[in-house]
Chains A and B, each alone.
Chain A
Amino acid sequence: MLRLERFRPRRGGWLGPEVDLEVEGPSLVSVVGPNGCGKSSLMLALAGLLPYEGSARLMGRELRDFGPRELRRLVSYVSDDPYSVMVRERVIDEVLFSAECLGLRPEEAVNSVEWALRSVGMSERSGERVRELSGGQVQRLAIAAALVPRPRLLLLDGPLSHVDEAARQEVAQVLREVISEGTLVVAAVSDRADLPIGPDVEVELDCEREALSVKLQAADPDGSRSHELVAEGVRFGYRRGREVIRGLSLAAGSGTVVALTGPNGSGKSTALKLLAGALKPWLGRVTLDGSPPSPPRAAYCPQNPSAYLTERTAAEEIGLASRSRTSLTYEVNPRWLLEEPVHGLSLGAKRAVAVLSTVLRRPALIALDEPAAGLDPANKELMAEVIRSVAGTGSIVLVASHDRHFVRSVADEVHVLQERSVRRVDP
Chain B
Amino acid sequence: MIRRRSAVHPTVSLLALLAAASAATLERDPVHLLPIAAVVTAAASAVAQSPSQVAKWCLKLLPMGLGLGAFALLNSPYRDPSLLALLPLRVWTLTSSALLFAYGTDPWELAWSLSSHLRFPRWMSAAIAVSHTIVVRTLDSLDEVVLALRSKGLLTHPMSYLTGAGHLMRAVLQGLAERAEKLSTALEARGFDPYAWRPLEPLDVRATDLFLLSVMLTAFLSVLIL
Task: Point out residues on A near B: beta carbons under 8 Å.
Answer: 44, 47, 49, 68-69, 72-73, 76-77, 79, 81, 84-85, 87-90, 92-93, 96-103, 106, 109-110, 113, 129, 131, 145, 149, 239, 273, 278, 295-296, 298-302, 306-310, 320-321, 324, 343, 357-358, 361, 363, 366
Contact = CB atoms under 8 A, between A and B. Distances in A.
B151 A84 contact: no
B2 A49 contact: no
Contact of B147 (A81, A129, A131, A300): A300
B207 interface: no
A103 B141 CA distance: 32
Given A100-B200, A361-B152, A361-B153, A307 B141 contact: yes
Residue with the greatest number of chain B CB neighbours at <10 A, chosen from A84, A99, A149: A84
A278 B149 CA distance: 12
Contacts of B199: 100
Nearest to A317: B152
Closest 10 CB pairs of A and B: A72-B191, A85-B186, A299-B151, A308-B148, A295-B150, A77-B189, A310-B167, A310-B170, A101-B191, A295-B151
With most chain B CB atoms within 10 A of its CB, the pick from A85, A309, A366 is: A85
A96 B200 CA distance: 8
Contacts of B5: 88-90, 93
A278 B147 contact: yes
Contacts of A76: 189
A110 B1 CA distance: 8
A84 B178 contact: yes
Identify which of B175, B188, B191, B198 gathers the most chain A CB atoms within 10 Å of its CB: B191
A356 to B, nearest CB: 11
Nearest to B170: A310
B107 A87 contact: yes
Most A-side CB within 10 Å, residue of B107, B156, B175, B185: B185
A357 B152 contact: yes
Given A72-B191, A97-B190, A84 B140 contact: no
A306 B186 contact: no
A84 B152 contact: no
Interface string B191-225: 11100111111000000000000000000000000
A301 B2 CA distance: 39
A79 B107 contact: no
Given A96-B2, A97-B108, A85 B182 contact: yes
A296 B152 contact: yes
B144 interface: yes
B29 to A, nearest CB: 38
With most chain B CB atoms within 10 A of its CB, the pick from A90, A113, A299, A357 is A299
A295 B198 contact: no
Given A44-B185, A49-B185, A102 B191 contact: yes
17 contacts: A49-B185, A85-B187, A89-B106, A90-B5, A92-B1, A98-B190, A99-B200, A149-B191, A296-B150, A306-B174, A306-B175, A306-B178, A307-B171, A308-B152, A308-B171, A310-B149, A310-B170
A183 to B, nearest CB: 16
A7 B86 CA distance: 64
Nearest to B143: A278
B122 interface: no
